[in-house]
């Protein structure tokens, strides 16, 4: 599912699929620096979250 070169890189990617029910479409996102294919759009912006959760 990920590009082959990402397996050797030190990159963590979390793929999320959410089913909101009630006939709504499944929502997808990638907690990563880049989009993953056409389905998973990035949900983390390095420029706006420079600390990555660290103080």
Distance between CA atoms of 27 and 7, rounded to whole angstroms? 25
Q: Which two tokens stand for residue 1?
A: 């599912």
Q: What is the tally of structural domains in the chain?
A: 1
Quick one: average pLDDT of 31-37? 85
Range of the structural domain that residue 39 is part of: 1-55
Question: What is residue 1's predicted lDDT score, i.e. its pLDDT?
Answer: 64
Between 28 and 51, the more confident residue is 28
- Residue 33 in this model has a pLDDT that exceeds 90: no
Quick one: average pLDDT of 14-42? 91
Question: What is residue 25's predicted lDDT score, i.e. its pLDDT?
Answer: 95
């Amino acid at each position: 599912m990920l590009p082959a070169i990402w397996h050797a890189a030190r990159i963590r990617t979390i793929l999320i699929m959410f089913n909101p029910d009630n006939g709504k479409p499944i929502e997808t996102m990638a907690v990563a620096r880049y989009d993953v294919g056409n389905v998973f759009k990035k949900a983390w912006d390095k420029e706006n979250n420079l600390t990555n959760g660290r103080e």
